[in-house]
């Protein structure tokens, strides 16, 4: 079993905490005056996304997590699982709704996502930072309005709803930042 000692801790390191795989977000070395040194560590639980703070005695070791982040192509959804393929090996994995989470609303066939695999099984899916999706439903806007002030909701082909400027019409393709869920621009066909 691989382990990491506190002096190997660094941001991005994947470790096991309370039975769940986590990534280290922050590692602060704390040493009071003449006393014992501690590492105060901030983790993100890779299954739940929750952030946890925990202290270790410096020099202690914790178990490494067998976690890989792989760029994979989204294939299709069969109603229960979302299937992804590693373009290098053609290997496929099926991720359940818990692993896909909020990413589901941005997924269009062939999008390249980052799939987090724990012991080979997908536990999280990060969509591309930017996606280009067609507007399937929005109120007819006022032509000539290019300011983008105000805006209106628009439903996209994947089911996501984003706020768009009034000039955006049904049938147009727009670029969206998936990290903020915000409209970026129209995309010429």
Partner 1 sequence: MSLGSENKRDWRPCCDFESLQRRAWMLAQIRQYFHDREVLEVETPLLGSRVGTDPHLRFMTVQEDDRILYLQTSPEFAMKRLLAAGSGSIYQICKAFRGGEVGRLHNPEFTLLEWYRVGFDLDQLMDDVASLLRCLLQDQVGGEVRLRYGELFEEAIGVSWDAPIPELNQRARALDLAEAGEICGRNRSLWLDFLFSHLIQPGLPDRELVFVHEYPAPLAALASLKPGQPQTAERFEVFLHGVELGNGYRELTEPTEQRARFEAEQKARILAGLPCPELDESFLAALEEGMPQCSGVAIGLDRVLMLMMGHDSIERVLPFPMRVCC
The footprint of partner 1 (CB under 8 A) covers: 7, 27-38, 40, 54-59
We find the least distance from the C-beta atom of residue 69 to partner 1, in angstroms, to be 21
Residues 137/161, Cβ–Cβ less than 8 Å = no
Instruction: For partner 1, give the closer residue by CB, 60 or 86.
Output: 60
Instruction: For partner 1, give the closer residue by CB, 34 or 189.
Output: 34
Backbone torsions φ then ψ of 6, nearest 5 degrees:
-55, -30
Instruction: For partner 1, give the closer residue by CB, 39 or 116.
Output: 39
We find the least distance from the C-beta atom of residue 7 to partner 1, in angstroms, to be 6
Instruction: For partner 1, give the closer residue by CB, 28 or 91.
Output: 28
In a 13 Å sphere around the CA of 58, the CA atoms on its Cβ side amount to: 12
Helix (H) or strand (E) holding 100: helix 97-100
We find the least distance from the C-beta atom of residue 33 to partner 1, in angstroms, to be 5
Residue 106 is encoded by which pair of tokens? 């941005």
Distance separating alpha carbons of residues 52 and 124, to the nearest angstrom: 18
We find the least distance from the C-beta atom of residue 125 to partner 1, in angstroms, to be 30
**Residue 147, burial from CB neighbour count under 10 angstroms (0-12, 13-18, 19+):** exposed
């Amino acid at each position: 079993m691989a382990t990491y000692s506190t002096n190997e801790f660094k941001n991005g390191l994947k470790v096991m905490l309370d039975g769940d795989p986590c990534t280290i977000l922050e590692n602060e070395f704390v040493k009071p005056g003449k006393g014992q040194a501690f590492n105060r560590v901030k983790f993100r639980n890779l299954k739940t996304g929750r952030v946890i703070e925990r202290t270790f005695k410096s020099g202690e070791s914790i178990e490494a997590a067998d976690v890989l982040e792989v760029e994979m192509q989204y294939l299709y959804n069969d109603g229960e699982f979302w299937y992804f393929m590693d373009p290098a090996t053609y290997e496929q994995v099926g991720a359940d709704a818990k692993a896909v989470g909020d990413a589901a609303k941005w997924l269009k066939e062939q999008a390249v996502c980052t799939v987090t695999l724990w012991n080979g099984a997908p536990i999280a899916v990060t969509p591309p930072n930017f996606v280009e999706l067609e507007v399937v439903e929005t109120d007819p806007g006022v032509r000539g309005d290019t300011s983008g002030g105000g805006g209106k909701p628009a439903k996209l082909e994947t089911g996501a709803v984003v706020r768009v400027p009034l000039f955006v019409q049904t049938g147009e393709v727009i670029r969206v930042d998936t990290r903020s869920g915000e409209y970026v621009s129209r995309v010429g066909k």
